[in-house]
Amino acid sequence: MHMKNVVAIGGGHGLSLIVRGLKQLANINLSAIVTVADDGGSTGRLRAQYQIPAMGDVRNVLCAMAESESLLTTLMNYRFEGEEGDVGGHNLGNLLLTALTQNTGSFIEAIQSFSKVMNVKGDIIPSSTEVITLFAVMEDGTIVRGESNIPNFDNRISRVFYQSDVKASAQALTAIHQADVIVYGIGSLYTSIIPIGDS
């Protein structure tokens, strides 16, 4: 049977659910293109401090696409307790991805290295390798800065945008061009799906 190239697109939680099922299918080459617009929590702190793309959604998808849910998967999602200072509030996986990115000088190389260690079934690709900030224009004209702030407004979204041009990663474009099937992850249309299309 011919192998199908399947590309799943989205954010961390919804995309994780989709790829957790897709990785079980035979005769597919699975790629997950993950948004890097998140700017909240541990991800936001590391992103701001080290000027690297958001890694939290990537971490979630790494764990979902691992061949088996192992101790390493559990540790990747471990969140340190305590106040937001030092390691308080950080996920261990976010810290490890940050360290690998700093060590290799490449966010994509860090993801590929972790994929090997976790025996990931498929490829995990950031939508962009840039540090990007998502904006939303609400129906009343209010402009909201930052993906983590958008859900906090009790208002309907009119559109989302980036303040500057964002380049999609070459790996993401190649995966889409070679795809036989493209699957959108469940979750927020405005903060998980559209931000990838704007890359």
CB 61 within 8 A of CB 111: no
pTM equals 0.92
Q: What is residue 198's predicted lDDT score, i.e. its pLDDT?
A: 64
Query: In angstroms, rounded to a whole number, what is the distance separating the alpha carbons of residues 197 and 199?
Result: 5
What are the b/e assignments for 65-90, b being 16+ CB within 10 Å? Answer: bbeeeeebbeebeeeeeeeeeeeebb
End-to-end CA distance of the chain: 34
Strands 181-184 and 4-10, by their bridges, are parallel
In the structure, how many helices (H) and strands (E) does the chain have? 8, 7
> Looking up tokens 């407004």, which residue turns up?
153
For the chain, domain boundaries: 4-130+167-189
CB-side neighbour CA atoms (13 Å) of 127: 23
Query: For each of the chain's 199 residues, which pLDDT tens digit applies?
Result: 689 999 999 987 899 999 999 999 999 999 999 999 999 999 999 999 999 999 999 999 999 999 887 888 889 999 999 877 788 899 999 999 999 999 999 999 999 999 999 999 999 999 999 999 999 999 999 999 999 999 888 889 999 999 889 999 999 999 999 999 999 988 888 888 888 876 6
Phi, psi of 122 (to 5 degrees): 125, -170
- Which ranges of 27-186 does DSSP label H, i.e. alpha helix? 41-50, 56-65, 71-76, 92-104, 107-117, 170-177
